[in-house]
Amino acid sequence: MRYLHTMVRVRNIDESLAFYCDGLGMREVRRVDSDKGRYTLIFLAAPEDVERALNEKAPMLELTYNWDAEDYGSARNFGHLAFVVDDIYATCARLAERGVIINRPPRDGHMAFVRSPDLISVELLQKGGSLPAQEPWASMPNTGTW
């Protein structure tokens, strides 16, 4: 068995790509438009996984955009996506600059949670050991749900 991808449905391609690509730094590696099925599939890979994604078709995140409007609710029925990042503080700052709410700030220098525009919980984990506590993160309270 081999892990291939996780699929999440998205409401707006541009907002989702701004979050996953501009905010998190993922890269688009493949896109499929289906006129018959009325959907677009966009496959993303983390920067360190791009070569594997292109060669092995894994590991990837599949964004599914259905052309006909559909209400996906609060998306809490989906657990979360998890990414290891080089600098959790810089990643959270980049996301916050783009208007993303840091639901569970990286107070411990190790873990944070945010939500995508489609309310998918995203866990961010610091690569290697935890970074030393740093403001404003160390004293920032949790916001909302994740």
pTM for the complete prediction?
Answer: 0.80
Helix H, strand E, coil C: the string for 45-57 is: ECHHHHHHHHHHC
Quick one: pLDDT band at residue 77, thresholds 50, 70, 90? low
pLDDT at 4: 84
**Would you mind telling me the total number of residues written for the chain in this entry?**
146
Query: Same domain for 87 and 125?
Result: yes
pLDDT at 80: 84
Helix H, strand E, coil C: the string for 115-146 is: ECCCCCEEEEEECCCCCCCCCCHHHCCCCCCC
- The two three-digit tokens of residue 143, written as one number: 């916001």
Query: Same domain for 36 and 89?
Result: no
What's the domain count of the chain? Answer: 2
For residue 106, is it within any domain? yes
Quick one: pLDDT band at residue 146, thresholds 50, 70, 90? confident
Report d(CA 2, CA 110) in Å as an integer.
Answer: 28
Q: Which of 48, 97, 123, 135 is catalytic?
A: 123
* Residue 97 appears among annotated catalytic residues: no
CATH code of 85's domain: 3.10.180.10
Residue 49 pLDDT > 90: yes
- Domain coverage including residue 21: 5-66
For residue 75, is it within any domain? no
Q: Average pLDDT for residues 23-33, to the nearest whole number?
A: 97
